[in-house]
Each structure stands twice: as structure tokens, then as C-alpha cells.
């Protein structure tokens, strides 16, 4: 299956279990891989045979910046669900949500949740 990848989209959101995360917010990065047939778009050079990735970006932004979740797993699930519901040409999606600076007393370079969902 062909795919379109939107990498390292950067947003500011208020997701987390700790009250400080919900009040102060933090930066999140999101990657999405959109699986859909692209041959017709490639041979015709017409936008109608693909998805407008600017619109997909806006859909992801709405989920990250317009909602609050305790878990980035729930955020990833919401992104996947909304994209599949909105863009019927997409057969499958992989979503990665990266929280680069989780508020823990340990040192590591962020945490990433990755999910893959297919159209029913």
C-alpha cells in the first residue's frame, strides 16, 4: 500500500496525568503515516485522487490543541479515529505521539506511543 507521511508535526497541548501538565501545557510531536492508493494521483497530478495533507495537519492540530487527555495513548487513538472518519480514502493509519519532556524525576529523551488502526 502507498503512503503519505507527515513527520514531526509540532503542537502545544495540555495532556497528562499531573495537574501541572494540564495547567502549564507542553510541546508534543506527532507523526502520521496515511496508507491509501496513490497511483491515480501520481499519474494524473490531481489533488482529488489523494488527501490534502494541509487538511490532515489541521485535523491533527484540532485533536492535540483543542482537547485534553490524561494519556497520550488516548490522544493517539483520537487522532487515528478522527482521521479515518474524516478521510474515507485512507485505509490505514499509524500515529506516533511524542512527549519530549515528560515531568518525571528520571532522565530520558521523551516517550513515544505508536498505534496502528485500519478501517473497519
pLDDT tens for 59-97 read 999 999 999 999 999 999 999 999 999 999 999 999 999
Of 9, 66, 58, 55, nearest to 32 (Cα)? 9
pLDDT tens for 8-59 read 999 999 999 988 888 889 999 999 999 999 999 999 999 999 999 999 999 9
| Residue 118 annotated to the active site | no
Instruction: Please name every residue paired with 114 in a beta bridge, in sequence order, or none if there are none.
Output: 96
Q: What nine digits make up the cell of 51?
A: 488527501
CATH label, 3-111, candidates 2.40.70.10, 3.40.50.1370, 3.30.1130.10, 2.40.10.480: 3.30.1130.10
Kindly tell me if the per-residue pLDDT of 106 is higher than 70.
no
What are the structural domain ranges in the chain? 3-111
Which one of 3, 61, 68, 99 is the catalytic residue?
99
From CA 98, how far away is CA 76, in angstroms rounded? 10
Predicted local confidence at residue 79, as pLDDT: 98
Amino acid at each position: 500500500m502507498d503512503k503519505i507521511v507527515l513527520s514531526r508535526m509540532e503542537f502545544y497541548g495540555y495532556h497528562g496525568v499531573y495537574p501541572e501538565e494540564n495547567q502549564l501545557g507542553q510541546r508534543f510531536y506527532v507523526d502520521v503515516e496515511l496508507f491509501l492508493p496513490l497511483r491515480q494521483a501520481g499519474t494524473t497530478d490531481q489533488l482529488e485522487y489523494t488527501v490534502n495533507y494541509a487538511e490532515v495537519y489541521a485535523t491533527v492540530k484540532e485533536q492535540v490543541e483543542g482537547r485534553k487527555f490524561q494519556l497520550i495513548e488516548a490522544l493517539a487513538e483520537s487522532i487515528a479515529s478522527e482521521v479515518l472518519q474524516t478521510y474515507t480514502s485512507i485505509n490505514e493509519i499509524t500515529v506516533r505521539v511524542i512527549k519530549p519532556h515528560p515531568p518525571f524525576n528520571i532522565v530520558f529523551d521523551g516517550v513515544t506511543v505508536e498505534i496502528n488502526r485500519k478501517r473497519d
